[in-house]
Amino acid sequence: MGGLPPTLRHIVESGTPGASVTVTGWVRTVRVQKRVAFAEVSDGSMLRGVQVTMDDPQMAAALTTGCSVEITGQLVDSPEREQSKEVRATAIRVVGASDPEHYPLQKKRHTLEFLREIGHIRPRSQTIGAVTRLRDRAEAAVHRVLRDSEFVRVHTPALTANDCEGGGETFAVAAGGQPGAAFFDRKVSLTVSGQLHLEVFAGAFKRVYAFNPAFRAEPSQTGRHLSEFWMVEAECAFVDSLPALMDVGEALVRGTTRHLLDTAAPELEFFSAGNERLARLVRRLADPQQYPRISYTEAIDILQRADAAAKFEHKPRWGRALQSEHERHLAAAHFQGPVFVTDYPAETKPFYMLPNADGRTVSCMDLLVPGPCELMGGSLRDHDHARLARRIADLGVEDGSLDWYLDLRRYGTTPHGGFGMGFERFLQMLTGLDSVRDIIPFPRHAGRCQY
């Protein structure tokens, strides 16, 4: 964009050796020797900063870790193997000083737990910088993959009068200190999912999707849970086949991963360095070979046969929801990669899922992966008005709050289905990081909402 200073990435990739350049950014490190000084300058545009060489060590006198600078010099080929070009400085101006005694990011390695305590500074760390670029590229890839398949994006609301999951883990909205019902005409909460609203548009568009934040009053203090997170949700009309729906979800994961291998290779390599298992998982996700697909019943059989050696805390039994330890075993130990599990018992799933002919299970799927375990969940939606009305009544919903949802089955309904994918969990899987709190810029979870 005209008028903006060039990024370091642009200078390094497009600049000609010998050209005069001006670089701007933040100093990561400074090394002063007897006859020369070096500084690494970063602006977030690439994994490594640009090395600046100063033939006169006195030029580095005002440089401290964390200060912002404007440096003019000559772009030259670098003798370093890990970078192609560097800058030989002729003039240095400190734009914003940084007190080296108190600047929290020092050259030493910091734990991710420590970085969470300095959330206003941690974007300057190499790890969070890499996560942020990967997150940006991944979001762009999600939009590209879905739009290439003619999906239309819908902005679903953050404020809602419905809880589509029915778990009750919602944040109630108050206005001016008054309950939400005093401002609106009913109780209102922050959305846990855009699915029900997305189904409205699936009654007019064959393929729709949403990429929005979701909110859950989730008390769990695990590396997989947040109170505010981002979801990719899709709904498809005229779909009556669960395998077809899985094909769509799989294509999203595969296509997004492939784009990242093209656009964020340095970041993926940074996270998989020394971790061949993670590198192999990323390659498997992008591979055209279909992900394995098993039924819930088959999953229980696998888990029961493994129980003697695995010693599960929760014994796997048909009719019970799969626990994290079960999902972890299936994805990480048994299949060692992504696996779809389908046709769960109806009692373990939400009301809107299409019942199977057996009367015991519903036509649904979860995509399990090593790391975060459940990455994606979806189902065919029940489009039978009478049956869905009975199900809603059985849940005790008698206030008419879901009448609009039933209306969708009255006027030109179609067989349809959809799924949701946790965006932070997708990135957690690709990075191998233990906690989604290191994936989202400002993590919110039980007991913590800083900034």
Same domain flag for 23 and 134: no
The number of folded domains in the chain is: 2
Query: What pLDDT, in 10s, does the model give residues 259-291?
Result: 999 999 999 999 999 999 999 999 999 999 999
Same domain flag for 98 and 132: no
d(CA 317, CA 118): 44
Same domain flag for 271 and 416: yes
Helix, strand, coil share (%) of the chain residues, nearest 5: 35, 25, 40
Mean pLDDT of 65-93: 94
Q: What is the CATH number of the domain that holds 73?
A: 2.40.50.140
Mean pLDDT of 304-331: 96
Is residue 224 within 8 Å of residue 436, measured between CB atoms? yes
Same domain flag for 259 and 216: yes
Q: Hey, which residues does 211 pair with through a beta bridge?
A: 232
Q: Evaluate whether residue 146 is within a structural domain.
A: yes
Answer yes or no: is pLDDT of 164 > 80: no
b or e along 149-165 (b: 16 or more beta carbons within 10 Å of the residue's beta carbon)?
A: eebeebebeeebbbbbb
Q: What is the mean pLDDT of the chain?
A: 94
Residue 346 has a pLDDT of 96
Closest CA to 137 of 30, 260, 43, 50: 260
Which structural domain, as residue segments, surrounds residue 360? 122-438
pLDDT band at residue 348 under the 50/70/90 scheme? very high
Same domain flag for 138 and 196: yes
- Lowest mean pLDDT across 108-117, 305-314, 330-339, 415-424: 108-117
Answer yes or no: is pLDDT of 321 > 60: yes
The residues, any chain, with a CB within 8 Å of residue 32's CB and separated by 6 or more, are 57, 60
Mean pLDDT of 164-174: 74
pLDDT band at residue 103 under the 50/70/90 scheme? very high
Mean pLDDT of 116-137: 97
